[in-house]
C-alpha cells in the first residue's frame, strides 16, 4: 500500500484529472461568468473569457423583471416543506422497520421503492384532474404534497439504512443501564440518528428543488418555483445570454453549495443502500 509514487506520475494524474474536471464544470463556470457580462460582451466574437467589464446589472434586471424572490420563496417552501413533511412521516416508519423488523419488512420496503418507479407521465392526467377538482392547481400546498409523495420512498429508505447501522446492542445497553423508552429515544437513539436524518433532509431537499416534471405541469404563475422560472426563459428571452445566465446562476447557486456537502450521502440515497 505505502508505495511511493513518483511525483511525475502524480503530476500527470493531476493534469489529466483537472483538465477533465474543468471541462465537465465548464458549462457551469461559463454561465456564472456570463452572468457578470453585458449583453454585448456575452455574445462577443470571439468570446471573452475573463477580461470583460464585470457588472451586476443582469441580476438587478432579472430580479426586477421576473420577481426572482417570489420563485425562490416558492422553491424554498415547496422543496423544504415536502422534505420536512416526508421526514416527519418517514422517521417512525423507518424506525420501526429497522428496530422491530418482521418478516414482511423487506416486502414493504421493496414495495415502497416500486412506487418510486411509477413513471410520472403515466399518472399525469389523474393528478391533474384531482388538482383541478380540489383547487390545488398552481398551489404551493398541492406541489408540496406531490413532491413529498414522490420522494417519500427515498426518504424511508435512506433513514432505514442509517437506522439499521445503529447497533442493537447499544439500545440494549441503554435498557440495561436503566433507561426508559423515553430516555432511550431521547439520549441514545436521537443523538445517534441525527447525522443520518440531516443527510436525508439535505439530499431530498436537493431532489425536490430540481424536480421538473410536476413543477412544470402543475404550476402557472402563483406557485411556480425556480424550475418554471428558468423555463420561462426558453425563448426568445433566452437569447439575452447575460440575463439568462444571471437567472440560471441564481437558480442553481444555493443547491450547488448544498450539493457539495451532500456528495457522500448521494450514493447511498440514490442507490437505496445497494452501493456503499
Residue 36 CB, nearest distance to another protein (Å)? 14
Near another protein by CB under 8 A: residue from 137, 147, 156, 246: 156
Per CB under 8 A, the segment of 41-49, 54-62, 66-74, 136-144 that binds another protein is 41-49
Report cis status (omega within 30 of 0) of the bond before 275. Answer: no
Contact 146, 138 (CB under 8 A): no
CB of 93 to another protein, least distance (A): 4
Tell me: does residue 188 bind another protein (CB under 8 A). Answer: yes
Q: Quote the least distance from Cβ 56 to another protein, whole Å.
A: 19
Closest contact distance (angstroms) between CB of 109 and another protein is: 7
Which sign, positive or negative, has the C-alpha torsion 243, 247, 253, 254? positive
Looking at 51-59, 62-70, 136-144, 223-231, which segment touches another protein (CB under 8 A)?
A: 223-231
Question: Between residue 194 and residue 213, which ones bind another protein under the rule CB under 8 A?
Answer: 206, 209-210, 212-213
What minimum distance in Å lies between the beta carbon of 50 and another protein?
A: 15
The answer to whether 135 contacts another protein (rule: CB under 8 A) is no
114: contact with another protein by CB under 8 A: yes
Q: Select from 142, 228, 246, 269 the one that contacts another protein (CB under 8 A).
A: 228
Q: Which one of 22-30, 54-62, 66-74, 135-143 is the stretch in contact with another protein (CB under 8 A)? A: 22-30
Distance CA 109, CA 102 (A): 12
Is 2 a residue that touches another protein (CB under 8 A)? no
Specify whether the CB–CB gap between 226 and 75 falls below 8 A: yes
- Beta carbon of residue 180, minimum distance to another protein (angstroms, whole number): 7
What is the closest distance, in whole angstroms, from the C-beta atom of residue 33 to another protein in the complex? 11
Q: Which of residues 50-89 bind another protein (CB under 8 A)?
A: 89
Position 128 contacts another protein (CB under 8 A): yes
Amino acid at each position: 500500500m505505502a508505495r511511493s509514487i513518483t511525483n511525475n506520475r502524480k503530476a500527470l494524474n493531476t493534469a489529466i484529472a483537472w483538465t477533465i474536471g474543468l471541462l465537465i464544470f465548464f458549462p457551469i463556470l461559463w454561465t456564472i461568468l456570463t452572468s457578470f457580462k453585458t449583453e454585448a460582451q456575452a455574445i462577443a466574437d470571439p468570446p471573452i473569457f475573463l477580461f470583460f467589464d464585470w457588472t451586476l446589472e443582469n441580476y438587478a434586471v432579472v430580479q426586477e423583471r421576473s420577481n426572482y424572490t417570489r420563485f425562490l420563496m416558492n422553491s424554498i417552501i415547496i422543496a423544504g416543506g415536502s422534505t420536512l413533511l416526508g421526514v416527519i412521516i418517514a422517521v417512525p416508519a423507518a424506525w420501526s422497520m429497522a428496530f422491530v423488523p418482521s418478516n414482511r419488512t423487506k416486502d414493504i420496503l421493496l414495495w415502497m421503492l416500486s412506487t418510486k418507479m411509477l413513471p410520472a407521465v403515466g399518472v399525469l392526467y389523474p393528478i391533474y384532474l384531482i388538482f383541478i377538482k380540489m383547487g390545488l392547481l398552481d398551489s404551493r400546498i398541492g406541489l408540496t404534497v406531490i413532491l413529498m409523495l414522490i420522494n417519500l420512498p427515498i426518504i424511508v429508505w435512506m433513514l432505514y439504512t442509517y437506522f439499521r447501522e445503529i447497533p442493537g446492542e447499544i439500545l440494549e445497553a441503554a435498557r440495561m443501564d436503566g433507561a426508559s423508552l423515553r430516555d432511550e429515544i431521547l439520549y441514545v437513539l436521537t443523538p445517534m440518528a441525527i447525522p443520518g436524518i440531516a443527510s436525508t433532509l439535505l439530499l431530498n431537499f436537493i431532489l425536490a428543488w430540481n424536480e421538473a416534471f410536476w413543477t412544470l405541469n402543475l404550476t402557472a404563475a402563483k406557485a411556480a418555483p425556480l424550475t418554471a422560472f428558468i423555463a420561462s426563459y426558453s425563448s426568445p428571452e433566452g437569447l439575452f445570454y447575460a440575463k439568462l445566465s444571471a437567472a440560471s446562476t441564481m437558480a442553481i447557486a444555493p443547491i450547488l453549495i448544498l450539493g457539495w456537502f451532500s456528495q457522500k450521502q448521494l450514493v447511498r440515497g440514490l442507490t437505496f443502500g445497494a452501493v456503499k
